[in-house]
Amino acid sequence: DSTGASGYLDDVWKFNPTTTEWTWIAGSSTQGAARVFGTINVEASANTPGAREWGATWVHSDGNLYLFGGSFPGLYQWQGDFWRLNSSTGEWAHIGQQVGTSGGGSFGVKGVSSPTNYPGRRYAGAYWTDPSGNFWLMGGEGNGENGSDNYLNDMWKYDPVVHEWTYMTGGRNGGQALPGVKLSSDPLNTPGQTTVPSWTSDSAGNFYLIAGWGRASSGGEQNLNMLYRFNTTSGEWTWLAGTDGGGMQPNWGVMGTSGASNSIGWREGGGMWISLSGELWYYGGRSLDETSSLGSMIDFWRFF
């Protein structure tokens, strides 16, 4: 922080790519800021989600920032609170969901939105925005419907216009993967529970996921390299690449040359994006290098 101390932060910044300058927008310049809720749905300069990590964030078409969950310092300190930051004033409003560190989500009927629905507490899940402006959330570590601590694979959609959550797919309390047949979509397909995944979405709203730390179709938690695609129109998953199992080491092949045996291996938390030509690119993350040493990677991959 500004004093040189290490810790959890609550500061918000804006970067101008034209001037290449950063602007401090909100939050404290020192670590460990406490959460201040204020009045629900009312913005105030004193409000803050507090210092945390691995929350899910989305930017609405009006430019406002939304934040769900994350983790406070300490064991099992994941959160389920929901916040909105006014990008013009730099003021937060607490807009709903759970307060505290225990209790499950309220799932309701699958595929049906409701003002009483909400995801369970979590951190280190995947999140993205579809072309219609809906916010999506999947997985992470936290609480399922029964309130127990678990790795999760539930998927949710939030409509920022009507302010309602919809439980879309996945287990209510985590579970094994049901990958199905590779390259074939099916309404029964689903990734297993996942945390610290890598993900991105394309212009059509399709979501791509490398599962990180989670479960394949059998066995317990392990490092995974399965690549999935979720079609937000059909609501179906497709297993695209990777191995239904854990602990796979990368196979680099020849640089610049594609190959059926090439593999990025298991990964946690790398960068993924879709190019304008529709190719999937991947950078870094946590994995094994060619000597089987664990660490942060700087390798660069293309999938097409």
Q: Which residues on neighbouring strands pair with residue 164, listed in sequence order?
A: 159
CA distance 287 to 266: 6
pLDDT at position 101: 64
| 188 occurs within a structural domain | yes
Q: Return all residues near 17 (Cβ < 8 A) that are at least 6 apart.
A: none
- Count of structural domains, the chain: 2
Q: What is the CA radius of gyration of the chain?
A: 19
Is the same domain home to 243 and 176? yes
- Domain of 244 in residue numbering reads as 120-304
Condensed to tens digits (0 to 9), the pLDDT of residues 188-212 reads: 999 999 999 999 999 998 999 999 9
- Whether 38 and 65 share a structural domain: yes
Question: Of 66, 101, 136, at which residue does a domain stop?
Answer: 101
Q: Give the pLDDT of residue 100.
A: 66
Mean pLDDT of 2-8: 95
Q: Does residue 185 share a domain with residue 151?
A: yes
pLDDT over 90 percentage in the chain: 94
13 and 68 co-located in one domain: yes
Mean pLDDT of 101-115: 91
Mean pLDDT value across residues 13-41: 96
The pTM for the full model equals 0.94
Return the CATH number at 234. Answer: 2.120.10.80
Does 47 reside within a domain? yes
The predicted model gives 257-281 an average pLDDT of 95
Residue ending a domain, among 101, 133, 155, is 101
Quick one: tokens of 68? 């769900």
pLDDT tens digits for 66-104? 999 999 988 778 999 999 999 999 999 999 987 766 679
Joined tokens for residue 55: 């929350």
* 161 located within any domain: yes
Given a cut of 70, whether residue 241 has pLDDT beyond it is yes
Instruction: Work out the average pLDDT over 217-243.
Output: 95
Phi, psi of 54 (to 5 degrees): 60, 30
pLDDT digits (tens, 9 = 90+) for 213-224: 999 999 999 999
Average pLDDT score over residue span 249-260 = 95
How do residues 142-168 score in pLDDT, each as one tens digit?
999 999 999 999 999 999 999 999 999
Residue 164 domain flag: yes
DSSP, res 223 = E
- Residue 165 placed within a domain: yes
Query: Interior CA angle at 44 toward 123 and 24, to 5°?
Result: 65
Output the six-digit token pair for 189.
């397909």
- pLDDT of res. 74: 81
153 in Cβ contact with 169 (< 8 Å): no
Report the distance separating Cα 244 and Cα 217, nearest Å.
7
Q: Residue 195 pairs with which residues in a beta bridge?
A: 212, 213
What's the rounded mean pLDDT across residues 35-47? 97
Domain boundary, last residue among 36, 71, 101: 101
